[in-house]
Structure 1
């Protein structure tokens, strides 16, 4: 399984694809709209990742995360937890 970390904002989705087995990561920024989600899907396909094997992790950011959460296996984290995890990884 690979993980797709998504930093959600009104305009963009800043994405990091993490493969813990290969110890590699790749990044991509797409718009937070239908066209951006289609671009994200195409980018994942280009990376050799299917939607069924990518597990997304994102902060629940009011309405901005809702469209991005559709179509993926996603764990939504409360904001305070997301900040703590982000800080501990840095």
Structure 2
């Protein structure tokens, strides 16, 4: 995915709930690397695919973005989230 394009997608679609890697709905489920590894199935094997799956399908309070974002946008935003998580937001 394209991290720069993903930053744009994140800003427009995700930042309302996840600004700075936080989670305003469920505070303990942030976008930190440790929380992503804890809560997303397969994160340790393929981090971008695990985040893309979550963005596509949603889970619990998080809506799925399948149909609202293109597969390319989802891939880009997943790459951005993983990149930021690696950097500690």
Normalising by structure 1, we get a TM-score of 0.28
As a proportion of its length, which structure holds more helix? 2
Normalising by structure 2, we get a TM-score of 0.29
As a proportion of its length, which structure holds more strand? 1
Q: Which has the higher contact order (CA 8 A, sep 6+)?
A: 2
**Which of structures 1 and 2 has the bigger CA Rg?**
1
